């Protein structure tokens, strides 16, 4: 263990990109104020369910995704994630983040041209049971993550409601407030990788743009995002990144 610590850790993991890991934390902080990280010998997992139960983020990082991963036992880490994000600013490419914890404290070390160290209490955070759902999706697609991120960001600045629709050859994002702006992702452009329609009739499902934009930071991390939705199903977006996986579920806007 190269990183010098001020606590006796029960678990320790080092992630090669502090910026990428912080983008995950930023997304979590958009959904909840406090979060519970569950660490076991197989890796790290987190579920963040927003208070209104509209949006759910799940992130899994197996032990192999880390530069260093040690877990003497299973341990739950409770953090006020917004406070952590506030201090993790001005990160540079190549900065490494190490998180060590025991039942009482969590220590965060960022190593780059300089070394920054932060110490937090391991707080008690209630873990909500999230029921497993097996929705029937009407549309299943895969698209370039950077393009989807740009579209969501642009539409979220214009409208409170983003509609998601699909034709036989395109995935369509629509400003449902004015219906004057829409973005099409097509297979011809190369940004729509796959598209499968389960129903012949076209549907448009509305989503709250503020909630949809919460996924933007994580979309920076991967190259391809899987998108599934339906008239009787939540929006499902999944992204593989640096050995891990993020899944975001969002209920339709009523």
**Cα gap 81→40, rounded to integer Å:** 20
Same CATH fold assignment for domains 11-121 and 139-250: yes
Residue 199: what pLDDT? 82
> In the β-sheet with 68-71, what is the strand arrangement from edge to edge?
68-71, 11-15, 96-101, 105-111, 115-121
Ramachandran sector of residue 151 (left: φ over 0; alpha: ψ -120 to 50; beta: rest): alpha
Q: In terms of CATH architecture, what is 11-121?
A: Roll (3.10)
Residue 2: what pLDDT? 55
- Find the length of the chain: 254
Question: Mean pLDDT in runs of 10 for the chain (254 residues)?
Answer: 79 94 94 95 94 94 95 93 92 94 96 93 86 87 97 96 94 95 93 92 93 94 96 95 92 94
CATH superfamily of 139-250: DNA Polymerase III, subunit A, domain 2 (3.10.150.10)
**Cα gap 246→21, rounded to integer Å:** 12
Q: Output the pTM of the full model.
A: 0.92
Question: How far separated are the first and last CA of the chain, in Å rounded?
Answer: 51
Please name the residues in contact with 77: beta carbons below 8 A apart, sequence gap of 6 or more: 11, 36, 37, 38, 39, 99, 101, 106, 122
- Enumerate the domain spans of the chain: 11-121, 139-250
Q: Tokens at residue 119, please?
A: 């110490």
């Amino acid at each position: 263990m190269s990183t010098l610590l001020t606590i006796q850790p029960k678990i320790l993991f080092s992630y090669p990109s502090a910026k990428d890991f912080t983008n995950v934390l930023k997304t979590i902080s958009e959904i909840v104020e406090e979060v519970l990280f569950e660490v076991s010998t197989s890796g790290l997992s987190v579920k963040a369910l927003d208070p209104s139960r509209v949006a759910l983020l799940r992130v899994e990082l197996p032990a192999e995704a880390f530069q260093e991963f040690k877990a003497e036992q299973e341990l739950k880490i409770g953090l006020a994630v917004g406070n952590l994000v506030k201090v993790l600013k001005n990160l540079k490419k190549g900065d490494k983040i190490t998180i060590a914890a025991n039942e009482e404290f969590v220590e965060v070390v960022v190593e780059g041209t300089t070394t920054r160290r932060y110490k937090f209490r391991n707080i008690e955070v209630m873990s909500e049971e999230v029921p497993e759902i097996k929705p029937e999706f009407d549309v299943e697609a895969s698209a370039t993550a950077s393009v989807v991120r740009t579209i969501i960001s642009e539409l979220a600045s214009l409208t409170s409601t983003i509609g998601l629709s699909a034709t036989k050859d395109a995935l369509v994002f629509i400003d449902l407030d004015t219906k004057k702006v829409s973005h099409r992702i097509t297979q011809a452009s190369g940004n729509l990788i796959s598209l499968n329609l389960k129903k012949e009739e076209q549907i448009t499902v509305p989503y709250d743009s503020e909630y949809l934009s919460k996924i933007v930071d994580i979309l920076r991390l991967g190259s391809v995002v899987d998108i599934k939705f339906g008239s009787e199903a939540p929006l499902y977006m999944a992204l593989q990144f640096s050995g891990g996986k993020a899944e975001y579920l969002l209920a339709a806007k009523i």
